[in-house]
A and B are shown apart, each in its own frame.
Chain A
């Protein structure tokens, strides 16, 4: 019971601190402008790539699929990369990792809280991007299956958070390039999970790899929920319930893997004296 209370305490303070760090770096007005401009600029790059480079039209049924995949991918960058970056940032930049770590609160809960703050920030970006897409790019959301959205969205976010903690464990052991871990993984997921194009365009080994990654199923579930149909023919045989089942399995696996790998990383970090390392790189 006490451990649970300490985990909740860590989660709460991690969320509070994460939100302060994300939002407190400038005046509220500038933060609001930044929050709008950043996702809109991201979506405009996508539109440019789609219209000019791929020479597709906004009326092409593929566009809403690509738009939605890219929009929800914002969560992958923020939550998955963000949590792993927390370790490097707290240790190298703020010099506070050791103090958070040696406090009686649950450090794992604290990292989840930091992930929650990243999720909140990403949610603002996702909502702004969706609104921009609906108003200016004429993307039509059908909300065909709100239940799939309500269950699938948090399940996928939870999976991202736990895989983020797994990466945070890896970051504990890396000195100079810890910040790259999250970026490299997020970049790989963008390519392999059918974010901006169908999996069928990938060479078969990469396609097989993509089919083994949870975000592929998560994005497919969100597309079905919001647009009425998915993007990947490879997944068309799966029912909505099967998609959710796979997502649930991936989340449970994520919890088990993240707890196991993070604990092992903690032990190695304590053995090597890495918990309070400041390399000044």
Chain B
């Protein structure tokens, strides 16, 4: 694809964090946060990076936002090299991070946002118009004159979301924008993002999340990332289609605390995740075909497990991740 049609492009992008001696993990003095990442995100796309904590999503966003230098490889935002010309890149982007309490608490919501608009040289009157409009869209209009230190974390995140969209950026980085928020607030934010893109079809959003339903609901395309590597990249429906020929089952068993020993390495078992739930063991299984289930149940019975419940599931992005990585999104990066 031609460079000018791309909002983001990375070529063999790699980032290594060097640790001090006392920070070494299991004798390792380096962490490979990004491993030769190649990505192309066309303009107008809502592109998702889905991966567990520590997968490298935020590292990638930071490099694209000119906050972190890559160790090797190249990255382009709006066709501009982020290392060679960061000042030019900054004219095209904005970023919102979730799960943080940034903002000047002594200023009101309106003052914080107005000041931020001034960072971008937006004329004062236009800034105030946009602030009023966006605050009412996220349901925060009645808090415009409230000092930020009085806001709840959900309200503060709504303000941060407004801060990101206020500058009408060509390319917006949303790094876990709904992290730690209650269901209602997260839903409001997702709805706001969807509507904004509908009204601004030429804008691009790069969203990182470890909530698979968020990626599924919002993104045109999703890249699954783990340990700094892109494992798959396609539309959510296409990713799920990868598992169409396989069978996804959820089982609840009693009488055993660990089923891995019984099922690991068993022919036909593509992936397995287990978790204790209400005194039972929940098993999420991806099988090469439905017929394998009989052998699985028999093996579990031999191990002393008693089947309590069995469900056949439609594949989700979580299952895709499980099939690709061998563990759940929520388990993080070891």
Contact = CB atoms under 8 A, between A and B. Distances in A.
Interface of A: 3, 5-6, 9-10, 12-13, 16-17, 20-21, 24-25, 94-96, 98-105, 110, 267, 270-271, 273, 275-276
Contacts of A6: 121
A102 B95 contact: yes
B144 interface: no
Interface string B81-115: 00000010011010100001111111100010001
Contacts of B136: none
B197 to A, nearest CB: 21
Given A102-B65, A273-B68, 19 more contacts: A5-B121, A9-B118, A9-B121, A12-B118, A13-B115, A17-B115, A20-B104, A20-B111, A96-B102, A103-B116, A104-B87, A104-B91, A104-B119, A105-B119, A270-B66, A270-B68, A270-B69, A273-B62, A276-B67
B67 A270 contact: yes
B17 interface: yes
A204 to B, nearest CB: 41
Contact of A24 (B69, B93, B103, B107): B107
Given A9-B118, A20-B111, A102-B67, A276 B62 contact: yes
Contacts, number: 80
Q: Is the interface of A mostly helix, strand, loop or mixed?
A: helix
A16 B118 CA distance: 10
A63 B323 CA distance: 81
A28 to B, nearest CB: 13
B121 A95 contact: no
A94 B104 contact: yes
B196 interface: no
A273 B95 contact: no
Interface residues of B, number: 28
A103 B69 CA distance: 17
Nearest to A13: B118
Interface string B113-128: 0011011110000000
A94 B118 contact: no
B118 A271 contact: no
Contacts of B68: 270, 273, 275
A94 B67 contact: no
Contacts of B17: 273
Contacts of A273: 17, 62, 67-68
Residue of A5, A9, A13, A16 contacting most chain B CB atoms (<10 Å): A13
Contacts of B91: 104
Nearest to B118: A13
Nearest to A2: B91
24 contacts: A5-B121, A9-B121, A10-B119, A12-B118, A17-B104, A17-B115, A20-B106, A21-B106, A24-B107, A25-B106, A95-B100, A99-B116, A99-B119, A100-B119, A102-B65, A102-B67, A105-B118, A110-B119, A270-B66, A270-B67, A270-B68, A273-B17, A273-B62, A276-B67
A20 B107 contact: yes
A24 B91 CA distance: 31
B118 to A, nearest CB: 4
A262 to B, nearest CB: 14
Residue of A94, A100, A110 contacting most chain B CB atoms (<10 Å): A94
A51 B120 CA distance: 54
The 5 closest A-B pairs by CB, nearest first: A95-B102, A103-B119, A13-B118, A270-B69, A104-B91
Nearest to B88: A104
Nearest to B111: A20
A102 B93 contact: yes
Contacts of A13: 115, 118-119
A275 to B, nearest CB: 5
Contacts of A104: 87, 90-91, 119-121
